[in-house]
Amino acid sequence: MQFEAPNPEVVALVAALNPAQKEAVTAPPEHRLVLAGAGSGKTRVLTHRIAWLIAVENVSPHSILAVTFTNKAASEMRGRIESLINVPVRTMWVGTFHGIAHRMLRLHWKEARLPQNFQILDADDQQRLVKRVLRSLDLPDDKWPPKMVTGYINGQKEEGRRPEAMQDQGDYAQRQLARVYSAYQQQCEANGLVDFAELLLRAHELCRDNPQIQAHYRNRFRHILVDEFQDTNTLQYAWLRVLAGDRGVLFAVGDDDQSIYSWRGAKVEHMMRLGHDFPGLEVIRLEQNYRSTGTILKAANGLISRNNGRLGKNLWTEDGEGEPIQLYAAFNEYDEAEFVVNKMKSHLDGRCRYVDLAVLYRSNAQSRVLEESLIRNRIPYRIYGGLRFFERMEVKDALAYLRLTTSRDDDNSFERAVNTPARGIGATTLERLRALAREQGTSLWKVAQEAGAALGRSHGNLKQFLDLIDGLARDIQDEPLSKMMETAIERSGLREHYKKEKGEQAESRLENLDELINAARGFERPAEDEGIAPLDSFLAHAALESGERQAGEGEDCVQLMTLHSAKGLEFPIVFLVGMENGLFPHQRAVEEGSLEEERRLCYVGITRARKQLYLSYAEVRRVHGVEQIGSPSMFVREIPPEYIVETRPRAGILRPTFSQPSRSYGSGGGYSPGSNYPSRGGYDRTPSRTATSAATANDVPGGYKLGARVRHAKFGEGTILTFDGDGDRMRVEVRFREAGTKWLMLAQAKLEAL
């Protein structure tokens, strides 16, 4: 693509950049690393660099390869560049590492020794295949959890190791794993299947080992640009090196302080090695931040300065100090969600739109209570990069068991539960059952009961499943709802099933199951309160909430997401919720010694905010259906106190203990009390929180407040913990000193305020 004269629009755009950004964008064709903190314009510089190369340096879009972190970022980048230079850039390769590898393998399937119609094996399919291979090698699932073995295979691939290159070190387990890897790979080859790690490995080998292809791409891609470079894994790095060869010019942008994917094999050390592997590399630092207020930036700087071995940089802004960060000590997770929603409403009253608001959390399971509040308040929302709570696989699996206990003829639930976890009931058997059920116009359950020995080998297994459901139904019928849920999760084998999977994903599933028990707890109440059994209203609630339409992409709605998915994004107003030790920093991360990565994650979270940041934690949170006492995250304390205001002074209400309460979750994070926050630290719950202590955010319609002390004619004195529903259907959860915790219909409970 040729231009007669430098494109004046691009020249003007570049003129508007700051000197360091300008230097990066207009650099001569030599290797550059833009090393800079959050919001300093790295992504913007990368986009402008591409526009500059095309429009001013007359580089053909054909010779540009740009790597982004997500597919969404790739399409945004393409759009941005097209609008900057007003030329279609179809021939330019922009995408994620996986997307680009896939494209290459499709083009060169023959050279890559793949069938032309090779298929991609997604994570679930991959695991199923690993399972089959384990079975064929007589390695039992319980000793060789498929998830673990899959992780092993992917890890080998990410390090570029093929089965034949594995060294036998005389270790039995190692030898078995190598055997599985080898057999698995043979299966993939025989069936033309390519898993995610294989995409990268094969594309790397293709470029490394095939001289023609290597020469072709080295010749073609003169400019290789990589965003979020700090999260590059070994294989991706090796591939970049092969592609660049001696002539390709690398332009990488990244921030060592935002490296948050080491658990997926990303290595920030690649950033340190760049100078060695790409001779003449110059580092450009950007320190001016254009995203956040001074306050938010200084808070982020203060926090991240606690990490060791940083490449070191300090962000500053020309913007004013802005609003202080608001910290809210919530009574419990419901109170926290109400706080978020009420703050949202106050912003929405002004010029703010839904899309300006984002809620970030460490663990997926935290979304449930927030979702409930948003739905109740009719605030449209979307879970960015994920599913809503009641749509998640493990949640639906567990609910299917509970549904079957009340309604055996629910075919959907039958289909879901019958073989999750696997019980050796084959596809043929199920097909048979379906045909019979169709013929007889009855349910799968009924035909399963009657089918008997005609089903062959599966019969025994099927019978066991039917007995499991009958037994479960019998045993839980008089239990409180949360216990029902818990028993269903245990007895179905679902918890074991997901536990065996190991890894981050499995952990998130287990947390969701625990959260489901919490959700059930919220529906417990004396049956006479309403005509509907708690189990029925809970199941209806789950079905209705998952049926609520999630706002579509591009619609004006609030965004909810995990901190990991928030990378690279920005929002005017950010809520960082669940700031408690054990939750964030996550207990497991602390145990595994990755506290610094958790801190980087917190840094990522804080720096997503442009104008206003809210932090919140709950003093009591339900974990696994049980109320546990939390202590505020050590990260809260690591933010210099002058940038934070507590939105609710609570003098005399909570008693700081500074010793770890026995039932608290989390490690306590090892931080000691400081004098800046007399009211912060580890808190002991005192039952004497009075109505006057609660903030307006805690108003329970009807004149009560969360935390208020009340008296009930039958149950005696108690404290209001939560409320739910509205109007006549408003329910409150009260913890009575003598009678325990109860849900009551507010309209009928005749509570007396104390």
Indicate which single residue of 7, 32, 43, 398 sits in contact with ligand ATP (rule: CB under 6 A).
Answer: 43
We find the least distance from the C-beta atom of residue 313 to ligand ATP, in angstroms, to be 11
Indicate which single residue of 568, 585, 682, 718 sits in contact with Mg ion (rule: CB under 5 A).
Answer: 568
Site for ligand ATP in 219-278 (CB under 6 A): 255, 258
- Residue 564 binds ligand ATP, judged by CB under 6 A: no
Q: Which does 293 bind (CB under 5 to 8 A by kind): ligand ATP, Mg ion, none?
A: none
Q: Which does 616 bind (CB under 5 to 8 A by kind): ligand ATP, Mg ion, none?
A: none
Q: Which of 236, 258, 288, 420 is catalytic?
A: 258
Residue 331 in tokens: 């009574």
We find the least distance from the C-beta atom of residue 25 to ligand ATP, in angstroms, to be 10
- Residue 293 binds ligand ATP, judged by CB under 6 A: no
Q: Is the dihedral of CA 41, 42, 46, 49 positive or negative?
A: positive
φ, ψ for residue 574 (rounded to 5)? Answer: -125, 135
Of the candidates 455, 456, 465, 419, the one whose C-alpha atom is nearest the C-alpha of residue 435 is 455
Q: Where are the alpha helices (DSSP H) in 66-118?
A: 71-85, 97-107
Residue 334 in tokens: 């419901």
Which CB, 68 or 126, lies closer to ligand ATP?
A: 68
We find the least distance from the C-beta atom of residue 286 to ligand ATP, in angstroms, to be 7
We find the least distance from the C-beta atom of residue 249 to ligand ATP, in angstroms, to be 20
Q: Where are the alpha helices (DSSP H) in 559-628?
A: 587-591, 595-606
Contact 536, 747 (CB under 8 A): no
Contact 129, 139 (CB under 8 A): no
Q: Which does 32 bind (CB under 5 to 8 A by kind): ligand ATP, Mg ion, none?
A: none
Which range of residues in 40-48, 81-89, 159-167, 467-475 is near Mg ion by CB under 5 A?
Answer: 40-48
- Residue 43 binds Mg ion, judged by CB under 5 A: yes
Q: Which does 199 bind (CB under 5 to 8 A by kind): Mg ion, ligand ATP, none?
A: none
Q: Is 336 a catalytic residue?
A: no
- Cβ-in-10-Å burial (0-12, 13-18, 19+) of 701 comes to exposed
Which CB, 568 or 668, lies closer to Mg ion?
A: 568
Indicate which single residue of 13, 14, 24, 38 sits in contact with ligand ATP (rule: CB under 6 A).
Answer: 38
Q: Which does 291 bind (CB under 5 to 8 A by kind): ligand ATP, Mg ion, none?
A: ligand ATP
Helix (H) or strand (E) holding 623: strand 609-623
Q: Is 258 a catalytic residue?
A: yes
Site for Mg ion in 278-317 (CB under 5 A): none
- Residue 379 binds ligand ATP, judged by CB under 6 A: no
- Residue 322 binds ligand ATP, judged by CB under 6 A: no
We find the least distance from the C-beta atom of residue 268 to ligand ATP, in angstroms, to be 14
- Residue 146 binds Mg ion, judged by CB under 5 A: no
Cis upstream peptide for 421 (omega within 30°): yes
Contact 403, 472 (CB under 8 A): no
Of the candidates 665, 583, 590, the one whose C-alpha atom is nearest the C-alpha of residue 629 is 665
Spatial CB neighbours of 335, under 8 Å, sequence gap ≥ 6: 618, 697, 698, 706, 707, 722
Q: Is 545 a catalytic residue?
A: no
- Residue 145 binds Mg ion, judged by CB under 5 A: no
Which CB, 69 or 445, lies closer to Mg ion?
A: 69
Contact 322, 293 (CB under 8 A): yes
Q: Is 228 a catalytic residue?
A: yes
Q: Where are the alpha helices (DSSP H) in 378-502?
A: 393-406, 411-418, 427-440, 444-451, 458-476, 481-491, 494-501
What is the rounded distance in angstroms from the CA atom of residue 473 to the CA atom of residue 150?
A: 35
Which CB, 18 or 660, lies closer to Mg ion?
A: 18
Which range of residues in 38-46, 59-67, 100-108, 231-239 is near ligand ATP by CB under 6 A?
Answer: 38-46
φ, ψ for residue 96 (rounded to 5)? Answer: -80, 165
Q: Is 483 a catalytic residue?
A: no
Of the candidates 37, 42, 41, 560, the one whose C-alpha atom is nearest the C-alpha of residue 303 is 37
The DSSP secondary-structure symbol of 443 reads: -
Q: Is 608 a catalytic residue?
A: yes
φ, ψ for residue 526 (rounded to 5)? Answer: -60, 135
We find the least distance from the C-beta atom of residue 628 to Mg ion, in angstroms, to be 37
- Which parts of this chain interact with Mg ion (CB under 5 A)? 42-43, 568
What positions carry a catalytic annotation? 42-43, 227-228, 258, 608
- Which parts of this chain interact with ligand ATP (CB under 6 A)? 17-18, 21, 36, 38-44, 255, 258, 290-291, 568, 570
